[in-house]
Structure 1
Amino acid sequence: MTTNWPAMSIAEAHALLTAPGMPLEMETVVIRGRPTRTWKNAPPTLRDVFIAGRAHDDKIFLVHEDERVSFEAFARATLRLAAQLQADGVVKGDRVAVVMRNLPEWPVAFFAATLCGAIVTPLNAWWTGAELEYGLSDSGTKVLLVDAERLARLTEHLPNCPSLERIYVTRTGDDFGPEGGNPLIQRLDSVIGAPDSWGGLPAGGLPDVAIEPEDDATIFYTSGTTGKPKGALGTHRNIVSNIMASASSAARSYLRRGETPPEPDPGAPQKGTLISVPFFHATGCHAILSPSLFAGAKLVMMRKWDVPRAMELIERERITGAGGVPTIAWQIIEHPDRAKYDLSSLESVSYGGAPSAPELVRQIKANWPKALPGNGWGMTETSATFTHHQAEDYENRPESCGPAVAVCDLRVTDPDGKVLPPNSVGEIWGFGPNVVKGYWNKPEASAATFVDGWVRTGDIGRIDDEGFLFIMDRAKDMLIRGGENIYCVEVEAALYEHPAVMDAAIVARPHHSLGEEPAAVVTLKTGATADAEELRAFVAARLAAFKVPVEVRFWDGPLPRNANGKILKTELKALFATAA
């Protein structure tokens, strides 16, 4: 680490990077009546992202098993499908749903609908048939693009989706026929063929549809850990704001260490990401898919997470970026066969959605000296990235998720909405060009969450004097034990310091007089041992007695998480629901 760290403050670095004439220049535009800082040189819409991506031509864009799709082949399949959607009557503002696991067809479906001016509605591929029915009916989806596995779940629910006019299904068997003779269903490969044939499709033209930055682009449903999911209505500007966010963070790291950010090198080896998060989540779509298409980076997909397979792909494809949630990084670092694979191509190991042990940052640096550890925070309502943390800043503040990206503003408020000074604990609010318009057809929920352009996140945290955000907990998950507030993240961080702990969550255990007490669910590292009393004593040596878990239970494998990487504490709370 450089001895003069930091060479300049966050504010100074942002001011230099976003000054007039710089690639990351900012400008202020009025969005829904409010002056908002935006990236001046970002592509205005997803249509422009698509056009930029096509310029990468014969470079490989998508890798799935043995399928390899170039940028031009992807573009041809996308334009062919867009023409078919227009022939089916899809017009600007119609909802087109994409319900698939990560496949090459997913980004084709997403961008084809986008080019038609449709509002793309990616639904969670892990949902049940009833949950998918809810998303289709709530959004009023007109056309559904789905894989065969999801269609099987949906078949009995289709009569309850009256807005559906056409269904295209992919990854079917050769003997597949429309379910029950349903005339709405057609094979997607009858339109675009198989991925290996996309390069031979005719070079079609762009649909003649005017698309503007503030036009509606997507409906992404919140994870729905409580209540019915709400559809966050995002604009083109919301989504493309991510493209400059990671570039800004990387450049800021150079300035903070007193170095000049390097100029882009067109001749440098192609960047590649091993994508272990789903496209149907804002992180996978907005923070990974769109920036990769724009920049000409390769995306390598896996059917399901498997550590040896992941290391094999990193070696074979010369992957430069990997991550997702902290558990993935831990599993690679601790796998007994890790030394058998050449993982030296890794330049960044980034994750979000869950707290991580400070030790993980050190382990990443020790195992991959040239790989920068990274962390960030965002939510569906902020179209993915809102804060970003990397390099020495992350090493120095491993408990933080970083400062807000340059075009965004953070504040912390009391329960009445009063803005609190630095280092005060309160609810986190965010403002910026990536904050969505509101919730689809839910005006009351929108009014409660979005206030004068600010999103009330429901997260509890503090912001230090330099602007670094520290997440303390979700507001609804904070424990109150006999009147004492317990921030779960603080107790989890203490557990993470134990050398045997890989994954940890603190949840509420009911108590007849105190209301609730902290209980822990822990996954141990492979080959490590620790018992409940040892872990309780370990926390007791670091935190006040009222914060020490009254019970510790052990979980086999990574803790359950939603698509955002956040631990499903409602599921873990059920372990303790019958406590006295």
Structure 2
Amino acid sequence: MTEINLNPDHPDWPVVSLARANAMLTSEGSPFETEVVEINGRPTTVWKSIPPTFADFARLARAAFGDREFIIFEDERVTYDAWFRAAATLAHKLREMGVEKGDRVALAARNLPEWPVAYFATLSLGAIAVPLNGWWTGGELEYGLTDSGAKILIADGSLYQRIKPHLENLPTLENIIVTRPAGDLDQGVIALADLIGTSHEWAGLPDTDFPEADIGPETDASILYTSGTTGQPKGAVATHRNSLTNLLSSAYATTRGALRRGEELPPPGTLPDPMTVLLVIPLFHVTGCTAMMGPVMAGGSKLVLMRKWDTVRAMELIEREKVTLTGGVPTIAWQILEHPDRDKYDLSSLDSITYGGAPASPDLVRKIKSDFKSSPAMGWGMTETSGTVTGHSAEDYLNRPDSCGPPVPVAQLKIMSEDGTRELPVGEIGELWAFGAMVVKGYWNKPEANEEAFVDGWIRTGDLAKLDDEGFCYICDRAKDMIIRGGENIYSSEVENCLYDHPAVTDAALVGIPHKQLGEEPAAVVHCAPGHEVSEAELQAWVAERLAKFKVPVKIVFVEETLPRNANGKILKKDLPKLYFPEAAA
């Protein structure tokens, strides 16, 4: 392959081939050394040095970085040691409440210092953490709690108020713990501060360890919900190994880029320089929880949290905390790049802007390099892969801005025919399948969905893609009927079903229309029953009452005839954007 080098700082790129870099970095004694183990009867390549469980990981992080700051939130500053004391104390409290291995503990909270405390406390017991989407309505939260059979709910004050009207429909909940309540708590509801104190008090908690628990790499760790193709979200069940695989995957891509540039590798045992990471994506997403929080901890780095996304506040924090890395989805990078007050803030500390979860334009890649003098980086993964499968950074990304990178050494990709019976050769477009130590066990209580999505350990991603002769992956389209709005997945059927529930609607289709910052937004085409009328605003309000706000169509076009269909009766969705939305046609 002839590579076009867009980085004048390194005109001889690459010094080391991709295959050679992979061989060097995964060799014996390397931090990225791999080995093959048997998982569910299948030989699987894994990182050799990752800890077996989250409890082991927490102990290692505390031992190595105890005095370093871990979490920054407004005026709260929590060290690794204080966080560990809080997590271990809460684990004992949960055990006293009867939480055992396999029990589900739901987390419904925005990004707060208590989030990593509750997450690690749960996992240390062998219980299963169930992070719930903070954008969900009360009805959607009720579904997640019911579907998972959660025994304990740990919620922040605002989300507790959203769930409260639904509690009578949640008989499996035995205890509710609320952090930062909005007012007085109802009888029987426990304040988290009564169990472990506030974040300012964690450093003074007893120096205790997690309770004894029979857990290992293949123990279930979390259920993360992803939008469902049939209208209901599906819970992807990740093991400790699935999630902990991310500890090295992101760092691997960065190290590979430096090696290909010709830089010397640090001596064995050298700890990475700590970063300061502005986390602007939710911890209830796989990207925030697994692909970002874990690697931050593995390097003893600092995690700066925001109450909610605000571009100016983000720039203030970058300047104040000397943030070296931020991102999450392309939307974040665009909003900082294009903000009129950007030059008023010192953003020079930024070394890297990373993202995934949504397509990014090649123009964004170049602007990050030129305007910020930062290294753009991205990865591809999904909830069902516990985060990172491919990593793309440095000159490789500049050279191939339309690729999501090659798979990390513990992952495999292949391109399959539409019927799933034949692997396609290099350069041909088909459905992307992924295999590796990060692929989840399956969906919680969804046997039919498991049969459709998982084949001998491979996940059928629903993405249409191709691979080049070096293994770089190019996502071309989505086979699944899904829209990605700023990193949030929206399955069309879920919104269409909601529209169909309205008495005036007899035909409906949801499509994606382009948006520069968000990637795309949902829009609907609707046909009403004879004699019925409904306005765009009324239908939008109807959806907003039942589904999270990011799923509400930004535009609704009403048509007099039923929607065009093929011979099998399926709506011709690919024709709808150009027929009804001029911005999509353009």
Specify if TM > 0.5: yes
The corresponding residue for 1:373 is 376
> Measured at CA, do residues 121 and 520 of structure 1 come closer, stay the same or move farther in structure 2, by a change above 3 Å?
closer
Secondary structure of the corresponding residue to residue 367 of structure 2: helix
Does the Cα contact within 8 Å between 1:521 and 1:572 map onto a contact in 2?
A: no
The corresponding residue for 2:97 is 88
Cα displacement (A) at 1:520 = 4.1
CA–CA separation in structure 1 for the residues paired with 2:191 and 2:509 = 53
The corresponding residue for 2:147 is 138
The corresponding residue for 1:17 is 25
One-letter code aligned to 2:416: T
The corresponding residue for 2:431 is 427
Q: Does 1:575 align with 2:538?
A: no
CA–CA separation in structure 1 for the residues paired with 2:258 and 2:44 = 27
One-letter code aligned to 1:395: L
The corresponding residue for 1:121 is 130
> Measured at CA, do residues 296 and 143 of structure 1 come closer, stay the same or move farther in structure 2, by a change above 3 Å?
same
Does the Cα contact within 8 Å between 1:425 and 1:460 map onto a contact in 2?
A: yes
Alignment partner of 1:49 out of 17, 34, 57: 57
1:33-57: per-residue Cα shift (whole Å, max 9, x none)? 0000000011121112111221211
Alignment partner of 2:184 out of 176, 179, 187: 176
The corresponding residue for 1:292 is 296
CA–CA separation in structure 1 for the residues paired with 2:208 and 2:433 = 44
CA–CA separation in structure 2 for the residues paired with 1:195 and 1:375 = 33
Secondary structure of the corresponding residue to residue 245 of structure 2: helix
Alignment partner of 2:413 out of 399, 410, 415: 410
CA–CA separation in structure 2 for the residues paired with 1:35 and 1:274 = 37
Cα displacement (A) at 1:465 = 1.1
Does the Cα contact within 8 Å between 2:327 and 2:333 map onto a contact in 1?
A: yes
CA–CA separation in structure 1 for the residues paired with 2:92 and 2:464 = 46
Q: Does 1:149 align with 2:152?
A: no
Q: Where in structure 2 are there 5+ consecutive unaligned residues? A: 1-6, 494-507, 519-548, 562-586
CA–CA separation in structure 1 for the residues paired with 2:363 and 2:125 = 47
The corresponding residue for 2:237 is 233
Cα displacement (A) at 1:12 = 2.1
CA–CA separation in structure 2 for the residues paired with 1:392 and 1:524 = 24
> Measured at CA, do residues 376 and 322 of structure 1 come closer, stay the same or move farther in structure 2, by a change above 3 Å?
same
> Measured at CA, do residues 268 and 17 of structure 1 come closer, stay the same or move farther in structure 2, by a change above 3 Å?
closer
Does the Cα contact within 8 Å between 2:55 and 2:210 map onto a contact in 1?
A: no
Worse-matched range after superposition: 221-230 or 271-280: 221-230
Does the Cα contact within 8 Å between 1:50 and 1:294 map onto a contact in 2?
A: no
1:434-486: per-residue Cα shift (whole Å, max 9, x none)? 000000111111111110000000111111111111111111349xxxxxxxx
The corresponding residue for 1:342 is 346
One-letter code aligned to 2:111: N
Which structure 2 residues correspond to residues 415-564 of structure 1 after superposition, within 5 A?
415-417=418-420, 418-477=422-481, 520-523=513-516
One-letter code aligned to 2:46: T
The corresponding residue for 2:565 is none
CA–CA separation in structure 2 for the residues paired with 1:188 and 1:307 = 31
CA–CA separation in structure 1 for the residues paired with 2:48 and 2:224 = 25
Alignment partner of 1:401 out of 398, 401, 404: 404
Alignment partner of 1:311 out of 312, 315, 323: 315
1:121-170: per-residue Cα shift (whole Å, max 9, x none)? 11111111111111111111111111111111111211211111111001
CA–CA separation in structure 1 for the residues paired with 2:313 and 2:295 = 25
Report the TM-score when normalising by structure 1.
0.82
Cα displacement (A) at 1:367 = 2.0
Alignment partner of 2:393 out of 368, 390, 399: 390
> Measured at CA, do residues 414 and 64 of structure 1 come closer, stay the same or move farther in structure 2, by a change above 3 Å?
same
Cα displacement (A) at 1:202 = 1.2
1:394-439: per-residue Cα shift (whole Å, max 9, x none)? 0011111111111100011111211000111111000000000000
> Measured at CA, do residues 519 and 223 of structure 1 come closer, stay the same or move farther in structure 2, by a change above 3 Å?
closer
1:359-379: per-residue Cα shift (whole Å, max 9, x none)? 11111111222x210011100
> Measured at CA, do residues 573 and 187 of structure 1 come closer, stay the same or move farther in structure 2, by a change above 3 Å?
closer
Cα displacement (A) at 1:578 = 3.4
CA–CA separation in structure 2 for the residues paired with 1:80 and 1:516 = 50
Secondary structure of the corresponding residue to residue 243 of structure 1: helix
Worse-matched range after superposition: 153-162 or 74-83: 153-162
CA–CA separation in structure 2 for the residues paired with 1:53 and 1:282 = 20
Secondary structure of the corresponding residue to residue 328 of structure 1: helix
> Measured at CA, do residues 372 and 519 of structure 1 come closer, stay the same or move farther in structure 2, by a change above 3 Å?
closer
RMSD (Å) for aligned C-alpha atoms = 2.6
One-letter code aligned to 1:53: A
Secondary structure of the corresponding residue to residue 412 of structure 1: strand
Cα displacement (A) at 1:331 = 1.4
> Measured at CA, do residues 517 and 98 of structure 1 come closer, stay the same or move farther in structure 2, by a change above 3 Å?
closer
Secondary structure of the corresponding residue to residue 316 of structure 2: helix
The corresponding residue for 1:26 is 34
Cα displacement (A) at 1:198 = 0.8
The corresponding residue for 1:6 is 14
Worse-matched range after superposition: 295-304 or 7-16: 7-16
The corresponding residue for 2:583 is none
The corresponding residue for 2:72 is 63
Secondary structure of the corresponding residue to residue 78 of structure 1: helix
CA–CA separation in structure 1 for the residues paired with 2:299 and 2:272 = 12
Alignment partner of 2:287 out of 283, 287, 302: 283
Does the Cα contact within 8 Å between 1:49 and 1:290 map onto a contact in 2?
A: no
Q: Does 1:73 align with 2:82?
A: yes
Secondary structure of the corresponding residue to residue 476 of structure 2: strand
Secondary structure of the corresponding residue to residue 19 of structure 2: helix
The corresponding residue for 1:255 is 259
One-letter code aligned to 1:81: L
> Measured at CA, do residues 309 and 232 of structure 1 come closer, stay the same or move farther in structure 2, by a change above 3 Å?
same
Q: Where in structure 1 are there 5+ consecutive unaligned residues? A: 479-487, 493-504, 509-514, 526-566
Does the Cα contact within 8 Å between 2:274 and 2:299 map onto a contact in 1?
A: no
Cα displacement (A) at 1:225 = 7.0
Cα displacement (A) at 1:4 = 2.6
CA–CA separation in structure 1 for the residues paired with 2:478 and 2:162 = 32
Does the Cα contact within 8 Å between 1:59 and 1:70 map onto a contact in 2?
A: yes
Alignment partner of 1:223 out of 215, 223, 227: 227
CA–CA separation in structure 2 for the residues paired with 1:334 and 1:443 = 46
Provide the aligned length of Structure 1 versus Structure 2. 503
> Measured at CA, do residues 225 and 148 of structure 1 come closer, stay the same or move farther in structure 2, by a change above 3 Å?
farther
Report the TM-score when normalising by structure 2.
0.81
One-letter code aligned to 1:462: K
> Measured at CA, do residues 264 and 357 of structure 1 come closer, stay the same or move farther in structure 2, by a change above 3 Å?
farther
| Identity across the alignment (%) | 52
CA–CA separation in structure 2 for the residues paired with 1:377 and 1:270 = 24
CA–CA separation in structure 2 for the residues paired with 1:262 and 1:363 = 30
